[in-house]
């Protein structure tokens, strides 16, 4: 007998199975297993013992205590196959491990003992098992009945606790349902309030536009009259005036002209804010336009210390653009450069960027420059950089803001770079539109922001044959199903059907899965599928990177071949 052996017995009759069951339960109790595990161990042994007897075999059982495990190894004639026996299947669910070896004729039943609890030694358990009285069927049945009653009572108690828990869950569910319903009512009310506020804002915006338009028109008439009368007074044929009178009248005329310019700029800004700037593109000779600006603005330098030069690229083609808007932008940039350059040069360079298909206008000066913290603020309405020269220079602070709005209306970009005390460079980029073939045919823009869709439409002008717009994912999906586009621009944050769901619908549709997609969204607010789609950040969107993204997905769809308009 080994040190861990507790008991040995033979299993030849039904009474032996009852005895093995009783020994298993007593050994489990002596080893420190809880009552339910005692019952499980005893049941597992009796089920296996009955299966062996049903096979017409005899068996022997050895009870062992090894470290933290209670093990019962049952031996039976080799080649007796118990693997599919129902009793063995049931026993597997009751104990931790059963190892069955049909060739060797053994089955080992293992139950792990609870750790950290004191237990008797193997010798003490062995003495306890040796002193047990033989088990009778009646005693075992009575014992099983008591165990069944105890288990039934536990089940009843557990059922009562479960019922109580269910009531608590139901009460919590009802409470949450009421709170959710109340929250939904609040959300609906909030949406209604937001709709009302939006309508009020639209009405206020429309009223503001009407106000500016009316006031601007009403002010222009008397201002033009004042300017006309001043010219009559100081022009040929007028009465001679004393020097002081002439000076005062000149001041009146200068102030009236400044006020008229301000009124004109305010009216133009009102048009820009309301989206009523509608570029009328014509073929423009850029060389002639640049020279005309030089001739017009050269006298305004006011000093031989500032040179105004114009440089244009050789064989510069005509540009399809709104000539009036382009002239206003360049005149504004050149006027600002001349105004804040006391000595040096103001230069206008005109060239073409073949990689982005854009006309590039650069106005560089050697003036006072703009501190870095003011570079973006100068595009705000009425903002002027503080400083002595700015205080002397006349201006409304609307010029650059108006120039950028005109630029955006034509689908271009306007940016400044500057170093304080070392000059400023303004770079205007406009799409190089000509009467050639567009690069892509039909483009679908899916975004709930109408202003953003309009901006993308302008950026794609001349590049795409046709641009469709969808305000949400469901509309986009319907439009794509009716007429699949050549490229789709998809925002991830849309109502009803968001961008991620739309992309999944496209991938699942055999007709649409080959449509190239550019994801245009705000970074860090949503998961962007960078691995499968080209992504362009909305806050960094420019015509050059948008067109490059479209070309990229077209090249990918054509296996590296150049895109053709469809």
What's the pLDDT score for residue 563? Answer: 37
What's the pLDDT score for residue 445? Answer: 93
pLDDT band for position 386 (cuts 50, 70, 90): low
Classify domain 5-135 by CATH number.
3.30.565.10
H-type alpha helices, 13-115 = 14-31, 35-54, 86-94
What residues contact 208, with CB distance under 8 A and at least 6 apart? 270
Query: Lowest mean pLDDT: which of 160-164, 232-236, 473-477, 482-486?
Result: 232-236
Pull the structure tokens for residue 193.
């309030």
pLDDT band for position 564 (cuts 50, 70, 90): very low
Q: What is the pLDDT of residues 56-76, one digit of tens each?
A: 888 999 998 888 889 999 999
pLDDT band for position 300 (cuts 50, 70, 90): low
Specify the domain boundaries for CATH 3.40.50.2300 within the chain: 440-557
Q: Is residue 40 over pLDDT 60?
A: yes
Report the predicted TM-score, pTM, of the whole model to 2 decimal places. 0.43
Q: Is residue 392 over pLDDT 70?
A: no
Separation CA 185–CA 183 (nearest Å): 5
Q: Is residue 182 over pLDDT 90?
A: no
Q: What mean pLDDT, rounded, does the chain reach?
A: 80
Three-state SS letters, 249-271: HHHHHHHHHHHHHHHHHHHHHHH
> When comparing pLDDT for 417 and 240, which is higher?
417
Mean pLDDT of the 388-413 span: 73
DSSP β-bridge partners for residue 101 = 106
What's the pLDDT score for residue 110? Answer: 93
What's the pLDDT score for residue 85? Answer: 87
Nearest to 496 by CA among 483, 513, 478, 515: 478
What's the pLDDT score for residue 565? Answer: 37
Mean pLDDT of the 376-396 span: 65
Radius of gyration of the chain (CA): 45
Q: Please, are residues 550 and 536 in contact by the beta-carbon 8 Å criterion?
A: no
CATH architecture entry for 282-431: 2-Layer Sandwich (3.30)
- Tell me the CB-side half-sphere exposure of residue 68, using CA atoms within 13 A: 8
What's the pLDDT score for residue 540? Answer: 74
Specify the domain boundaries for CATH 3.30.565.10 within the chain: 5-135, 282-431
Q: Is residue 526 over pLDDT 50?
A: no
pLDDT band for position 562 (cuts 50, 70, 90): very low
Residue 556: φ, ψ to 5°: -65, -40
- Tell me the CB-side half-sphere exposure of residue 320, using CA atoms within 13 A: 11
pLDDT band for position 394 (cuts 50, 70, 90): low
What's the pLDDT score for residue 211? Answer: 74
Separation CA 392–CA 374 (nearest Å): 19
> When comparing pLDDT for 72 and 154, which is higher?
72
Mean pLDDT of the 149-176 span: 81
pLDDT band for position 138 (cuts 50, 70, 90): low
Separation CA 377–CA 458 (nearest Å): 25
Mean pLDDT of the 462-466 span: 81
What's the pLDDT score for residue 140? Answer: 66
Q: Return the C-alpha torsion angle 82, 83, 85, 90, nearest 10.
A: 120
Q: What is the pLDDT of residues 493-524, one digit of tens each?
A: 888 888 888 898 888 888 888 899 999 877 64
pLDDT band for position 469 (cuts 50, 70, 90): very high
Q: What is the pLDDT of residues 1-34, one digit of tens each?
A: 667 888 888 988 888 888 888 888 888 888 888 8
Pull the structure tokens for residue 268.
């133009």
Residue 245: φ, ψ to 5°: -65, -45
Q: Please, are residues 294 and 308 in contact by the beta-carbon 8 Å criterion?
A: yes
Mean pLDDT of the 470-489 span: 91
> When comparing pLDDT for 543 and 200, which is higher?
200
What's the pLDDT score for residue 450? Answer: 86
Classify domain 440-557 by CATH number.
3.40.50.2300
């Amino acid at each position: 007998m080994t040190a861990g052996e507790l008991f040995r017995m033979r299993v030849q009759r039904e009474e032996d199975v009852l005895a093995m069951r009783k020994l298993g339960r007593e050994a489990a109790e002596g080893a420190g297993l809880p009552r339910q595990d005692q019952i499980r161990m005893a049941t597992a042994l009796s089920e296996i013992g009955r299966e062996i007897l049903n096979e017409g075999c005899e068996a022997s059982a050895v009870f062992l205590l090894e470290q933290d495990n209670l093990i019962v190894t049952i031996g039976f004639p080799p080649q007796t196959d118990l693997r599919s026996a129902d009793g063995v299947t049931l026993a597997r669910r009751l104990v931790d491990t059963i190892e069955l070896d049909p060739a060797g004729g053994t089955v080992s039943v293992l139950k792990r003992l609870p750790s950290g609890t004191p237990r008797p030694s193997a010798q003490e358990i062995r003495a306890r098992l040796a002193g047990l009285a033989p088990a009778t069927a009646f005693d075992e049945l009575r014992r099983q009945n008591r165990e069944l009653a105890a288990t039934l009572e536990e089940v009843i108690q557990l059922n009562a606790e479960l019922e109580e828990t269910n009531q608590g869950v139901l009460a919590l569910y009802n409470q949450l349902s009421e709170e959710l319903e109340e929250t939904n009512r609040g959300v609906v009310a909030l949406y209604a309030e937001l709709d009302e506020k939006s309508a009020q804002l639209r009405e206020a915006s429309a009223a503001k536009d009407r106000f500016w338009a009316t006031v601007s028109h009403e002010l222009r008439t008397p201002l033009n009259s004042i300017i006309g009368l001043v010219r009559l007074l100081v022009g040929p044929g007028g009465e001679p005036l004393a020097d002081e009178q002439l000076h005062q009248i000149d001041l009146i005329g200068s102030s009236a002209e400044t006020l008229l310019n301000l009124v004109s700029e305010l009216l133009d800004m009102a048009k820009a804010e309301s989206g009523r700037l509608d570029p009328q593109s014509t073929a423009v000779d850029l060389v002639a336009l640049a020279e005309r600006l030089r001739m017009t603005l050269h006298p305004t330098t006011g000093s031989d210390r500032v040179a105004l030069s114009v440089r244009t690229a050789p064989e510069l083609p005509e540009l399809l653009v709104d000539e009036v808007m382009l002239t206003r932008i360049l005149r504004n940039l050149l006027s600002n450069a001349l105004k804040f350059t006391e000595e040096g040069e103001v230069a206008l360079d005109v060239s073409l960027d073949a990689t982005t298909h854009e006309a590039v206008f650069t106005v560089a000066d050697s003036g006072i420059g703009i501190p870095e913290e003011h570079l973006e603020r100068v595009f705000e309405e009425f903002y002027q950089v503080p400083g002595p020269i700015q205080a002397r220079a006349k201006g409304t602070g609307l010029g650059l803001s108006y120039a950028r709005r005109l630029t955006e209306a034509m689908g271009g970009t306007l940016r400044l770079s500057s170093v304080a005390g070392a000059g400023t460079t303004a770079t205007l980029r406009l799409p190089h539109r000509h009467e050639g073939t567009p690069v892509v045919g039909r483009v679908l823009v899916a975004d709930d922001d109408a202003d953003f869709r309009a901006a993308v439409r302008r950026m794609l002008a001349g590049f795409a044959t046709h641009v469709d717009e969808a305000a949400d994912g469901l509309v986009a999906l319907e439009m794509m199903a009716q007429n699949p586009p050549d490229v789709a621009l998809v925002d991830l944050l849309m109502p009803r059907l968001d961008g991620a769901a739309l992309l999944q619908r496209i991938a699942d549709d055999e007709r649409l899965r080959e449509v190239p997609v550019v994801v245009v969204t705000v970074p860090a607010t949503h998961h962007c599928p960078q691995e499968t789609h080209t992504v362009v950040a909305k806050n960094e969107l420019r015509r050059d990177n948008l067109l490059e993204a479209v070309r990229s997905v077209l090249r990918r769809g054509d296996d590296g071949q150049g895109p053709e308009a469809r």
